[in-house]
Amino acid sequence: MTNRNKRRSNKGKAKPQPQKRNLPSTGETVALTVSDSLQSPHAEQGDKSNARQGADKPDSNQEIAKPYRRIETVNIVLMLIFTAALVTITGINACYSKKQLNVIAEQGRLMNAALEETKRTREIENAAYLFATHAILESPVESGKYPVTNLEFENTGRTPALHTRINALSAFFEKRSMVEEGELPPATIPLPYPSEGVFPPGGKVPGKVSPPNLSKDNLIEASQAGFTLYVWGTIDYEDIFGKPHRTEFCFANQSNDVTTFTVCSRHNSYK
């Protein structure tokens, strides 16, 4: 048979119709060709296999990120621990520093007090000390002679006294209580002092004083009435440390028939 005859015979034959089947789930009719029916089981198996692989295979990005998340969490915890330790150490250092500062301040205060005490002790040991050490009449009061009292002043300190000024006064008082319990008038008679007021250490300087404006009759009256002659005064000066000082002195004639004096119970002081 020739090719032309074969084509004619093929044209005469009817083409096979596609098979139809009903899907019981939906009732819809689906047309499948023979080729589709042959390929569909393999495709279905491939889809199921891919689904199982997709279900079984985890997310690769999440698996990679898990270690980094753990490292980040550890770093945060370590940072918190380090911060807490740093705050604790800082607080401890602050408390310790405060205590140390208090100790240093107390040591400084004690050192300053010790230095001040040393300075004060040195000044006390080396300061000038001026006193009236002696008083005696040239003649007893009952002799009727004008009562002149010889005084002696002495610097018992180790350094000279500067700008020395000595004032003294002498007068009769009726009762000793007027002097011993009361106040004496200010000593207003300055005693002459040489060398521009510099009183050397261990030096002794004499002075004289007598009652001012005392007439012969007043002297006899005071002697007969039993009045007591008093001599008092002040010594003002500065030491070599620039500090001012004042010494007060007071003497009372023991009796009108003697030339000696005793120290008063008051009005003798040093400051």
Does domain 130-270 bear CATH number 2.60.40?
yes
pLDDT of residue 244: 95
- pLDDT bin (cut points 50, 70, 90) of residue 166 is very high
Mean pLDDT, range 138-145, rounded to an integer = 91
Q: Are 204 and 154 in contact (CB under 8 A)?
A: yes
User: What per-residue confidence (pLDDT) applies to 118?
Assistant: 84
In this prediction, residues 188-206 reach a mean pLDDT of 83
Looking at the chain, the whole-number percentage of residues with pLDDT higher than 70 is 73
> Which range among 48-57, 228-237, 259-268 shows the weakest confidence by mean pLDDT?
48-57
As a whole number, mean pLDDT of residues 187-199 equals 78
**Interacting residues of 125 by C-beta distance below 8 A, sequence separation 6+:** 158
Residue 75: the pLDDT is: 77
Secondary structure, 3-state, the chain: CCHHHHHHHHHHCCCCCCEEEECCCCCCEEEECHHHHHHHHHHHHHHHHHHHHHHHCCCHHHHHHHHHHHHHHHHHHHHHHHHHHHHHHHHHHHHHHHHHHHHHHHHHHHHHHHHHHHHHHHHHHHCCCEEEEEEEECCCHHHCCCCCEEEEEEECCCCCEEEEEEEEEEEEECCCHHHHCCCCCCCCEEECCCHHHCECCCCEEEEEECCCCCCHHHHHHHHHHCCEEEEEEEEEEECCCCCEEEEEEEEEECCCCCCEEEECCCCCEEC
In this prediction, what percent of the chain has a pLDDT beyond 90? 32
Higher pLDDT, 252 or 20: 252
pLDDT digits (tens, 9 = 90+) for 51-81: 555 545 555 666 666 676 777 787 788 888 8
- pTM for the structure as a whole: 0.59
Task: Say which range, 22-31, 83-92, 142-151, 209-218, has the weakest mean pLDDT.
Answer: 22-31
Asked whether residue 240 carries a pLDDT value surpassing 60, the answer given is yes
Residue whose token pair is 């000696």: 260
